[in-house]
Structure 1
Amino acid sequence: MAPARWSRLSLILWLACLLPLAPARVAAGLYELNITTDGPTTTAAEVTILASLVAKDNGSLALRGNAHLYRFHWIHTPLRLTSKTEKDLSSTIRVVSSMPGDFPVSIWVTAADCWMCQPVARGSVVLPITEFLVGNLVVTQNTSLPWPSSYLTKTILKVSFLLHDPSNFFKTASFLYSWDFGDGTQMVTEDSMVYYNYSIIGTFTVKLKVVAEWEQAEPGSAKGVLQKTGDFSASLKLQETLRGIQVLGPTLIQTFQKMTVTLNFLGSPPLTVCWRLKPECLPLEEGECHPVSVASTAYNLTHIFRDPGDYCFSIRAENVISKAHQYHRIQVWPSSIQPAVFAFPCATLITVMLAFIMYMTLRNATQQKDMVENPEPPSGVRCCCQMCCGPFLLETPSEYLEIVRENHGLLPPLYKSVKTYTV
């Protein structure tokens, strides 16, 4: 009987030990931790970390609101703990670091009466701490543009520095601000906010150097002056409204002649350019023409007119700031020779001319051949040639006399007979 009693007693004790573990085992995996922090921060300044226990499916599981049923466990070494508070289902700690770096902080939650049981939820966070000032540059303007970091020229910009100091560590510090606006303008102020106006378009980088000084009493010595600095920057893209479109191109042209028109945009480069030929100069409607992306302040249009008449280029350019319209009239006259209409007649004329030249060439060659085969010229020509040119062509006078006799056989002799009379 004694062994049986001891076995029953041990079973009861074992069940009693399991009862505190029951809620934790059931809750394990059903809850999670939401962790928030006000970091990053600078060395020697306090950082606050808050951990809250919530249900995983956005609160559909009912949590018991008694905070004494759960215990939060923190691991924050080497950060120095300055305070810790627990309220409802959350826990908050404040820590300080004397050195810069990224420090991990771990948290887990267990049942209050069984801290070595399986955790209900666990989480971690990395806390960045720097030796410099922490803050941001904020640039604002009355006119907002849809492009990120884009602003208008010739419109006042408000540039502000916002110091991140949730623990009010620099409440006694004095600050000095050194500004560089990237366009050659620099200034030094004691105010964390300045106003500036850019007069030209482009991308500029605003640079700011902040110096903080304060007095701090050191143990066993007089007051000392401490200093922290920080460098900050912001990139700005200055845009300009489209003040107009300048059109450079001919106003008179012939058909079938390539025409080029240059568009110069007075302002920031537009996102899109749209144009269309119309019989009258009227604005373009939405969807009336196909837009073309343009990334510069100039654009060339090319077109070939096939029909004469009066036309008007209707042009629309736009960027995210504004729109601009422009018109360009042009008269198209019929060309003297239109290649599409007179291509065949021209080819026929050229063929006829080539045939005529070949005919004349062959005819001249035939005449020259006949003259070589029949060198005897007509009688009149031969006589004239021989009479006029013979003395110069013959080698001896006897040959000349012989030819003369042959040609003039019927002429009287060159001498007369002498008669003798006897008295």
Structure 2
Amino acid sequence: MAPALWPRLGRILWLACLLPLAPARAAAGLYELRLTTDGPATTGAEVTITASLVASDNGSLVLPADTHLYRFHWIHTPLLLTKTDEAFSSSIRVVGSVPGDFPVSVWVTAADCWMCQPVSKSLLVLPITEFLVGNLVITQNTSLPWPGSYLTKTILRVSFLLHDPSNFFKTASFLYSWDFGDGTLLVTDDPVVYYNYSIVGTFTVKLKVVAEWEQATLDAGKGIMQKTGDFSTSLKLQETLRGIQVLGPTLIQTFQKMTVTLNFLGSPPLTVCWRLKPECLPLEEGECHPVSVASTAYNLTHTFRDPGDYCFSIRAENVISKTHQYHRIQVWPSSIQPAVFAFPCATLITMMLAFIMYMTLRNAAQQKDMVEVADFDFSPMSDKNPEPPAGVRCCCQMCCTPFLLETPSEYLEVVRENHGLLPPLYKSVKTYTV
């Protein structure tokens, strides 16, 4: 009987040892540890690290009602430790005496079984430095959706925020040396300064901070302690987009390639978006495909296939502002050219000019012929001006002369010259003197 009882007794003892482990084994994989810290910190300053046990499926699981069911275990060497345990969380406060990166690990087990499988575990690396800890913050009254970009000729607020959650530097005095990257240097005892950049560009703001305070020494005296820190941040100063200048035709034919030049009045780089619309309306988000432009000019090309009235809706934006512009254009069919409508007017003007020239030349020719007829010598034939035959001369006198003479007086004068004077009514009587 005895040999048969030993295996049964062994099984009972093994089950009895497993009973305290049942909650931990059931909880394994269902929860996770979340670590938070207020580090990094400088040497000598206190840092708080908190571990919280939470459900791994974002809260659908409910933590056990017994708050003493689990135990937190920390490994933090060589940091000095002060530990505080709460319900399902644990916090430690550590102080680093030398600079470096220190790993801090924590795991949770069942309270009654330290050697059991952990319910959850986590790890973080705590940086400890011998310098001051903080950062530079730059703000501007103008609300900008793009970080790191600011407006020129607008006041900037530059401030230094010291990271000191344990009030380690509560008795220290500070001195701040500023370098704004454009040749301007400034020394203040205030962590906040105001500055105005007047030019466009990318600048690096540098700050050197010196902290001094009194601290008790080992010989019951007081000594002056000092810590320094160097900080910097980069900022981009730009001008807002004041508008878009559009250079291009307003009248074009179908199937003719058109080029429009866009001149941007602002700081690149830019994001440009355009679309043809029947009316000049602003572009909505996602209505067209944006194009990156690295300069202040951009050429836009398009070929129209259908006639009609169109409007180019153009949107451009840089990292601090955006603007819209419109350009109307009228498209004619290629078979009906606008020049055709001007052809009848041009033809009529040409015909009028030709008629005026014809009348001018005709009047000039008539005046020349009248002068020649008036100067023609109808006297008896001579060597220079032979007398025409009687029939020709009569025809010329009867047909041509009335048309060539301008007035009846001139006509009578010509007749008088051709026919001579009438014979006198009496003959002269000769007298003789004896």
Instruction: Output the TM-score relative to the length of structure 1.
Output: 0.65
- Please report how far the alpha carbon of residue 194 of structure 1 lies from its aligned counterpart in structure 2 after TM superposition: 1.5
| The one of 312, 318, 343 aligned to 2:316 | 318
The question of whether the paired residues in 2 share the 8 Å contact of 1:144 and 1:151 is answered with no
Residue 376 (structure 1) aligns with: none
Show the counterpart of 1:100.
Answer: 99
Alignment deviations for residues 137-179 of structure 1 (CA, whole Å, 9 cap, x no partner): 1111222223231111222221121111111111111111111
Paired position in structure 1 for 2:150: 151
Decide whether the 8 Å contact of 1:42 with 1:131 is kept in 2: yes
- Is 1:23 the counterpart of 2:23 in the alignment? yes
Give a deviation string over 1:197-251, Cα, whole Å, max 9, x none. 2222221111111111111101114211111111111111112122345678999
1:231 aligns with 2:241: no
Q: 1:275 to 1:18 in 2, by over 3 A?
A: closer
Query: For structure 1, which segment, 261-270 or 25-34, has the greater mean C-alpha deviation from structure 2 after superposition?
Result: 261-270
Question: What is the 5 A alignment of 1:1-400?
Answer: 9-81=9-81, 83-245=82-244, 264-269=263-268, 270-272=270-272, 286=283, 293-299=292-298, 316=314, 318-320=316-318, 321-323=321-323, 325=325
Question: Partners of 2:312 and 2:57 in 1: how far apart?
Answer: 60
**Hey, what's the Cα distance between the residues in 1 that align with 2:283 and 2:113?**
72
Helix, strand or coil for the counterpart of 1:68? coil
Separation in 2 of the partners of 1:190 and 1:121?
48
Calculate the TM-score normalised by the size of structure 2.
0.63
Does 23-32 or 42-51 show the bigger shift? 23-32
C-alpha separation in 2, matches of 1:55 and 1:312: 61
**Counterpart-to-counterpart distance in 2, 1:290 and 1:8:** 78
**Structure 2 counterpart of 1:165, one-letter code:** D
Following superposition, the deviation at residue 31 of structure 1 comes to: 2.0
The structure-2 alpha-carbon separation of the partners of 1:324 and 1:220, relative to structure 1 and needing over 3 Å to count, comes to: same
Q: How many residues align?
A: 329
Deviation, 1:18, is: 2.3
Q: Per-residue CA shift, 1:367-390, capped at 9, x if unaligned?
A: xxxxxxxxxxxxxxxxxxxxxxxx
CA distance in 2, matches of 1:52, 1:275: 55
Q: Which amino acid letter does the alignment assign opposite residue 194 of structure 1? A: V
Taking only the aligned residue pairs, the percentage that are identical comes to: 73
2: CA distance between counterparts of 1:160 and 1:95? Answer: 29
Contact 2:46 2:94 in 1 (8 A): yes
Gaps in structure 1 of 5+ consecutive residues: 252-257, 305-310, 335-423
The separation in 1 between residues aligned to 2:96 and 2:288, in whole angstroms, is: 64
Q: How far apart are 1:129 and its partner, in Å?
A: 1.4
Give the distance between the partners of 2:289 and 2:106, measured in 1 at CA. Answer: 60
Residue 62 of structure 1, CA deviation: 3.0
Describe the SS at the equivalent of 2:241.
coil
CA distance in 2: counterparts of 1:323 and 1:213, whole angstroms: 51
2:38 partner amino acid: D
Structure 2 segments unaligned to the other structure (5+ residues): 251-256, 304-308, 330-337, 340-434
**Equivalent position of 1:402 in the other structure:** none
Q: How far 1:315 moved relative to its partner?
A: 8.6
Kindly tell me: are residues 185 and 275 of structure 1, through their superposed partners in 2, closer, same or farther at Cα, counting changes over 3 Å? farther
Counterpart CA distance in 1 for 2:41 and 2:96 is 10
Shift of 1:317: 5.9
Instruction: Kindly provide the CA deviation profile for residues 315-361 of structure 1, in whole angstroms up to 9, marking residues without a partner as x.
Output: 956324132648799xxx98xxxxxxxxxxxxxxxxxxxxxxxxxxx
Letter in 2 for 1:225: I
For residues 33 and 261 of structure 2, the distance between their equivalents in structure 1, rounded to whole angstroms, comes to 64
Q: Is the 8 A contact 2:52 2:89 kept in 1?
A: yes
Query: CA-to-partner distance for each residue in 1:278-305, whole Å, 9 max, x for gaps?
Result: 9xxx96754899875432234467899x
Q: Tell me: CA distance 1:171–1:9, structure 2 relative to 1, closer, same or farther (3 Å).
A: same
In 1: Cα distance, 2:280 partner to 2:276 partner: 10
Instruction: Call closer, same or farther: CA 1:87–1:65 in 2, change over 3 Å.
Output: farther
SS in 2 for 1:19: helix
* Aligned-partner SS, 2:121: strand
Question: Contact 2:283–2:315 (CA<8 Å) still a contact in 1?
Answer: no
CA distance in 2, matches of 1:59, 1:247: 58
Is this contact kept in 2: 1:65–1:88, CA < 8 A? no
Match for 1:193: what amino acid? V
Residue deviations 1:31-83 (CA, integer Å, cap 9, x gap): 221111111111111111111112222233332232322111111111121x1
- Mean Cα displacement is larger for which, 161-170 or 242-251? 242-251
Distance 2:298 2:264 in 1: 8
For 1:62 and 1:303, locate their aligned partners in 2 and report how far apart those are by CA, in whole Å. Answer: 64
Change (3 A) 1:327 1:220: same
Q: 1:85 to 1:261 in 2, by over 3 A?
A: closer
SS at match of 1:205: strand
| Aligned counterparts of 1:109 and 1:314: Cα–Cα separation in 2 | 66
TM-aligned CA distance change 1:196 to 1:11, over 3 Å: same
CA distance in 2 between partners of 1:56 and 1:327 (Å): 58
Question: Is the contact between residue 276 and residue 289 of structure 1 (CA under 8 Å) also seen in structure 2?
Answer: no
